[in-house]
Structure 1
Amino acid sequence: MTKLNYKSLFKYLLVLLWMIVIFKFSSDPADVSDGKSGLVIQELTSLGIDVNGIFGNLANFVVRKAGHFTEYFIFFILLINAVKEGNSLSKSFKIAILITFFYACSDEIHQLFVPGRSGRFTDVLIDTSGGLLAAGILKHIEKRNK
């Protein structure tokens, strides 16, 4: 295997590891997931960001949805970095967005089988939006660097 192949393999390994992270978070029953959101809220509060004061009863909901968004923002960045090997950048963006969307769909289907969780198409849209924002930022950086 050449050095380039090892580099490409490593990029795909990072994507696979992140997919496992997403799967693991999605495997948490609702009470565990809510507890993790509560810890994030506590941590933000200790940093001086009063999430409860800003969002009130919606704080836990907002943190969970921000988590979805962030997971897939990172997923897209790792994915585009792997997919662009041997593909045009335009084609790579299309492939990465499609994979992001379909993995988000499979993630929501998976959650249908987790106690207290549900699969929602709105979450697929939030997840995919995380990938789309990452794509937009990367496209902006690409344009600026030309």
Structure 2
Amino acid sequence: MSKFKKFVVYWLPVAVWLFVISAASGDQKSFQHSSRIIGPIVHWLFPQMPQEQVEEVVFYVRKSAHMTEFGVLALLCWRALRQPKRGERKPWSRPEARKSMLLVLVFASADELHQCFVPSRQGSPWDVLIDCSGGALALLLLWLLGRRLKWW
């Protein structure tokens, strides 16, 4: 496979996903936008829930979305570093998983730094931790699935 094709197949999805994450983190009124969607759904499901609890649910849904975003990023980075060939069975590689997590840490830190320069947003080291937790959880689930299905 040519270098260009390897880039397109393995690293372009990583780049596209990073663009999606960056676009979402550049949203100046991100909390208000997601609250307008998630809040009414929570009110519909639980009409008696006080507004304070609705806001708490919105907060946890947003943090779960962060974990999911960076979980997907970890899996894409792992795949790009691994570069599997069709039908090939490679054993699990801790160095690939560690490198994937390092990339997630770098990108999560850059994302939070970027948010420091967006009006109405603020970067937080806690969010970096949440993002990295999402990456680690995704890789753990992949490892468990691979063991269960005897991929490695």
Superposition RMSD in Å: 2.7
1:16 aligns to what?
15
* TM-score using structure 2 length: 0.80
- Alpha-carbon distance, 1:44 to partner: 6.2
The answer on whether the counterparts of 2:39 and 2:54 sit within 8 Å (CA) in structure 1 is no
2:67 aligns to what?
69
The answer on whether the counterparts of 1:51 and 1:59 sit within 8 Å (CA) in structure 2 is no
Identity %: 30
- Alpha-carbon distance, 1:34 to partner: 2.2
For residues 93 and 105 of structure 1, the distance between their equivalents in structure 2, rounded to whole angstroms, comes to 18
The answer on whether the counterparts of 2:114 and 2:123 sit within 8 Å (CA) in structure 1 is yes
Alignment of 1:54-93 (within 5 A): 55-85=53-83, 89-93=93-97
Point out the structure with max Rg over C-alpha.
Answer: 2
Q: Which runs of 5+ in 1 are unaligned?
A: none
Q: Compare the two structures and name the one with the higher helix fraction.
A: 1
- Alpha-carbon distance, 1:7 to partner: 4.7
Alignment of 1:1-146 (within 5 A): 2=1, 6-7=5-6, 9-29=8-28, 31-43=29-41, 48=45, 50=46, 53=49, 55-85=53-83, 89-146=93-150
- Alpha-carbon distance, 1:5 to partner: 5.9
- How many equivalent residue pairs? 142
- Matched position secondary structure for 2:118: coil
For residues 81 and 71 of structure 1, the distance between their equivalents in structure 2, rounded to whole angstroms, comes to 16
Cα distance change of structure 1 residues 42 and 82 upon mapping to structure 2, 3 Å threshold = farther
The answer on whether the counterparts of 2:38 and 2:58 sit within 8 Å (CA) in structure 1 is no
The amino acid of 2:11's aligned partner reads Y
